[in-house]
């Protein structure tokens, strides 16, 4: 594997999940591939889970890591070509070219600006990184996608369904938030779920919050949360800002919060969220802390999602 930007870089999603589950059982089995190898982790935006789970995954494979928090640790980086750099110190072209000489795999997080849909959805920054890097690149969340999160999510669903033994209903529910958030988790989740034929997938969101069609194709989208929750086996809560009115918060209605009463409509559904989560805004404490909440299983599977991707890249170096 030379790049991991989205599910489209994966040959067979079922095989990948199976391999990740095997790694979970025997996490230290492939250290021969990581010996004397280095993974560089570059963060243009903050992280808790992605940062630490990628480090742990690299450690399990016997790799070294270095981490750069761009805005804290480095020169200010110019993203635009042709700029007169009066206010920025280093261009992304040199920064990525140099960083990629100090590692065997480069993993990068770079969020959208949520102002210019065309710029974000063309993945201008991630594509520059791909162009300038001399080594394979992993997407640790880009302007529009968060594939390591989604891989962890489908691994988690596989565990709870005995590897998709029978049809199940998965609902991605929009939930309120105080800030304008990216679409990446929701887009990516929809894209990965569409590859699993045993999943009956519903997206529920307020009017004008429909996801970009390319990612949500094949899903049933509705604006009625109660209808969507009926007979659901998994409720995945996530906020995102509007795609149509790009980056805007159009709905602040707390009625969209995931509550114990709404969960009663489901088929004793498991509750999922990628974290971090704002308690009692996105979801009630009683749902998040319930027996059916599988947020920590999801977070743990972030390790094996990263590990299987790093392993595939190390194997093809």
Interface residues with ligand CP (CB under 6 A)?
47-50, 141, 149, 274-276
Question: What are the structure tokens assigned to 74, written together?
Answer: 């480095």
Q: What radius of gyration, in Å, describes the C-alpha atoms of the chain? A: 19
Q: How far is the CB of 274 from ligand CP (least distance, A)?
A: 4
Chain-centroid distance of CA 98 in Å reads 26
Please identify, using beta-carbon distances, which residue of 20 and 78 lies nearer to ligand CP: 20
Q: How far is the CB of 46 from ligand CP (least distance, A)?
A: 7
Q: How far is the CB of 137 from ligand CP (least distance, A)?
A: 17
Please identify, using beta-carbon distances, which residue of 107 and 269 lies nearer to ligand CP: 107
Cα distance from N-terminal residue to C-terminal residue, the chain: 9
User: In the beta sheet, which residues pair with residue 64?
Assistant: 38
Q: How far is the CB of 308 from ligand CP (least distance, A)?
A: 17
Question: What is the rounded distance in angstroms from the CA atom of residue 24 to the CA atom of residue 75?
Answer: 38
Please identify, using beta-carbon distances, which residue of 150 and 202 lies nearer to ligand CP: 150
Q: How far is the CB of 165 from ligand CP (least distance, A)?
A: 27
CB proximity list for 185: less than 8 A, separation 6 or greater: 146, 149, 150, 238, 240, 274
Residue 85 CB neighbour total at 10 angstroms: 11
Q: How far is the CB of 153 from ligand CP (least distance, A)?
A: 10
* Residue given tokens 């809560």 in the structure block: 237
Question: What is the rounded distance in angstroms from the CA atom of residue 91 to the CA atom of residue 78?
Answer: 5
Please identify, using beta-carbon distances, which residue of 142 and 149 lies nearer to ligand CP: 149
Question: What is the rounded distance in angstroms from the CA atom of residue 208 to the CA atom of residue 226?
Answer: 18
Please identify, using beta-carbon distances, which residue of 152 and 258 lies nearer to ligand CP: 152
Please identify, using beta-carbon distances, which residue of 147 and 169 lies nearer to ligand CP: 147
- Rounded (10°) angle between helices 295-315 and 13-25: 100
């Amino acid at each position: 594997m030379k790049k991991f930007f989205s599910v489209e870089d994966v040959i067979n999603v079922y095989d990948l999940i199976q391999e990740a589950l095997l790694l979970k059982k025997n996490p230290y089995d492939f250290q021969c591939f990581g010996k004397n190898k280095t993974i560089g982790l570059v963060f243009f935006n903050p992280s808790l889970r992605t940062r630490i789970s990628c480090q742990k995954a690299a450690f399990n494979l016997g790799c070294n890591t270095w981490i750069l928090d761009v805005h804290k640790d480095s020169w200010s980086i110019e993203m635009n070509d042709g700029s007169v750099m009066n206010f920025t110190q280093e261009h992304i072209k040199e920064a990525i070219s140099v960083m990629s000489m100090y590692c065997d795999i480069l993993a990068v997080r770079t969020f959208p600006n949520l102002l210019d849909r065309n710029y974000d959805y063309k993945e201008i920054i991630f594509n520059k990184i791909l162009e300038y890097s001399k080594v394979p690149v992993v997407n640790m969340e880009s302007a529009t996608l968060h594939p390591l999160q989604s891989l962890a999510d489908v691994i988690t669903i596989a565990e709870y369904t005995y590897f998709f033994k029978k049809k199940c209903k998965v609902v991605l529910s929009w939930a309120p938030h105080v800030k304008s958030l990216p679409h990446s988790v929701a887009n990516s989740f929809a894209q990965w779920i569409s590859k699993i034929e045993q999943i009956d997938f519903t997206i529920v969101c307020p009017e004008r919050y429909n996801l970009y069609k390319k990612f949500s194709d094949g899903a049933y989208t509705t604006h009625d949360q109660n209808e969507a929750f009926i007979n659901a086996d998994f409720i995945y809560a996530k906020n995102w800002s509007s795609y149509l009115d790009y980056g805007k918060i159009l709905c602040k209605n707390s009625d969209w919060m995931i509550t114990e009463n709404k969960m009663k409509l489901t088929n004793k559904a498991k509750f999922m969220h990628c974290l971090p989560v704002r308690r009692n805004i996105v979801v009630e404490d009683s749902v998040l802390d319930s027996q059916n909440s599988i947020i920590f299983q999801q977070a743990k599977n972030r390790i094996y999602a990263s590990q299987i991707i790093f392993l595939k890249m190390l194997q093809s170096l």
